[in-house]
Amino acid sequence: MKLLMYLTDFIVPVVVLGIVAYGAMEQVKVYDEFIRGAKKGFYTVIRIMPTLIGLMVAVGILRASGFLDLLSGLLGKVTDYIGFPSQLVPLSIVKMFSSSAATGLLLDVFKEYGTDSRIGLIASIMMSCTETIFYTMSVYFMAAKVKKTRYTLTGALLATLAGIMASVFIAGRM
């Protein structure tokens, strides 16, 4: 086990050194390429900043307005019937927009129900099994200039539903 601990300390530096060494062997100006890539990354961040701000504001409005609590109350009867706790409806919705906002809700769930409770276990597994669909689609598609998304949203929503179902199933087995 200690060997793995030592090995993990060296993985990132070895990979970086390997990239630099390979670039030098291929006679690439590694530092110049790094600067060029960092410059492109900076411009990408500037291009996607309005989208990020819009998503963060939307999630903040949803949380502050009480809409998530209302939605949780409405959908709670259905979700409780199928085995998904109604307390996690807001978390599952917010996770589709923002992982950091969902993490805040997750901490609230942990404070109220505990990390080892069934709700805490489902929430933890669900955070790992689902994706920030709208964030990912808006930011990455915008950065990559993807115009035709076709079935991306449908597939992502189905994958999220599968992740939520898997979290309920796995937490039930623990």
d(CA 174, CA 169): 9
Would you state the structure tokens that stand for residue 168, as one six-digit string? Answer: 């309920």
Taking residue 23's Cβ as centre, other Cβ atoms within 10 Å add up to: 15
- Single pTM value for the model: 0.70
CA atoms within 13 Å, Cβ hemisphere of 153: 7
Model pLDDT for residues 12-60, shown as the tens digit of each residue: 899 999 999 999 999 999 999 999 999 998 988 888 888 778 877 887 8
Q: How far apart, in whole angstroms, are the C-alpha atoms of residue 110 and residue 113? A: 5
pLDDT of residue 98: 83
**pLDDT, tens digit, for every residue of 71-130?**
888 888 888 888 889 889 989 988 998 888 888 889 999 999 999 999 999 999 999 999
Does pLDDT of 174 surpass 80?
A: no
